[in-house]
Amino acid sequence: MIAPIFRRVTLIGLLLSAIGVSAQNLADRLGYPPGTKLIIVHADDLGETHAVNAAAIKALESGTINSASLMVPCPWFPEMADYAKTHPDADFGLHLTLTSERIYYRWGPVASTDRVPSLVDSNGYFHHDWEPRQQIDAKQVEIELRAQVERALAMGVRPTHLDSHQYRLIMSGKDLFEAMLRVAHSYKLPIFVTRDWFEEHPYLQASLGPNDIVLDHTVTIGPEVPPEKWADFYLTAIRNLKPGVTEFVIHPGYDDEEERAATRERSTWGAAWRQRDFDFFTSEQFRQVLAEQKIKLITWRELARPATSK
């Protein structure tokens, strides 16, 4: 809950931000006391497999993960849409998906394939990967993103935010980012962007408007962290958290037959990886370090409230 006095502060913050003079972080602009550290513990890839859905639901219900996003084109999306309908307070965004990156288990676009030919391979699936020379058509991207949002809405999901699977819409240039941004504005949804990315991708900052929410930081684990250092990585990140709003982008899942089979061609974001994320973020150790560091949890629902109430 944000008290009325903070709403005024928020508007001033947004105004200052808009004219480029603000050194405030998003927590300040939301009206929190200086130095406040807020995190979104955000599970990605829901809908991709049942093993991911089941683990994410368990983690959400245990209260340590408080936000997630759903992959609409994936075969297990209906399971999450059903859950979202019966849990309308859950903080679910849409994990806009334009790739089908595995080998033995695949999916394709929501839009009619004829309308998005640059997004699909010769078999009609989304590309495994985008080769540097591949021409991904921004208009087709926008068609597909709108189709994903429309399917989610039609199936009863009320998303709180949009983000991008594999950061494709963030890291692939101004045209694709602006396609995502247009869709976000159409549906009055915030998108997951952080200031951390502005230096490498200046078009992000250039394209964003004064009313767009920008997170301060993000933390995500990478393949350079060995399995035995998993908890250490997260504990260190939490103990060194900067003030402002940080999204932890995590990938919980169960290391079971389905997930092992679906991800078996490589270990990055594979079944064991996802089990390690599940284990850490549902651990007592994680709860304790949050309390010890006086870190507060926040969701996209709370972040979006000032923006959508304008």
- Applying CB under 8 A, the residues found at the interface with a second copy are 49-51, 53-54, 74-79, 82, 103-107, 110-115, 122-124, 147, 151, 154-155, 254, 256-258, 261-262
Residues across the chain: 310
Task: Tell me whether residue 143 or residue 221 sits nearer to a second copy (CB atom).
Answer: 143
Cβ 246 to a second copy shortest distance, Å: 33
Give the separation between CA 39 and CA 61, rounded to whole angstroms: 17
Pair of tokens at residue 71: 């992959």
Which residues pair with residue 247 across a beta bridge?
Answer: 40, 218
Cβ 52 to a second copy shortest distance, Å: 11
Task: Tell me whether residue 264 or residue 287 sits nearer to a second copy (CB atom).
Answer: 264
Cβ 162 to a second copy shortest distance, Å: 19
From the number of C-beta atoms within 10 Å of its C-beta (0-12, 13-18, 19+), residue 123 rates as: exposed
Task: Tell me whether residue 27 or residue 57 sits nearer to a second copy (CB atom).
Answer: 57
- Cβ(202)–Cβ(173) under 8 Å? no
Burial 241-277 (b: 16+ CB within 10 A, else e): bebbbbbbbbbbbbbbebbeebbeeeeebbbebbbbb
Query: Which amino acid is present at 42?
Result: H
Q: How many helices (H) and strands (E) does the chain have?
A: 13, 7
Cβ 254 to a second copy shortest distance, Å: 8
Q: Give, for 140, the enclosing helix (H) or strand (E).
A: helix 138-154
Task: Tell me whether residue 23 or residue 104 sits nearer to a second copy (CB atom).
Answer: 104
SS3 85: helix
Cβ 114 to a second copy shortest distance, Å: 4
Cβ 152 to a second copy shortest distance, Å: 10
Map tokens 């490498």 to a residue. Answer: 200
Task: Tell me whether residue 31 or residue 270 sits nearer to a second copy (CB atom).
Answer: 270
Task: Tell me whether residue 11 or residue 103 sits nearer to a second copy (CB atom).
Answer: 103
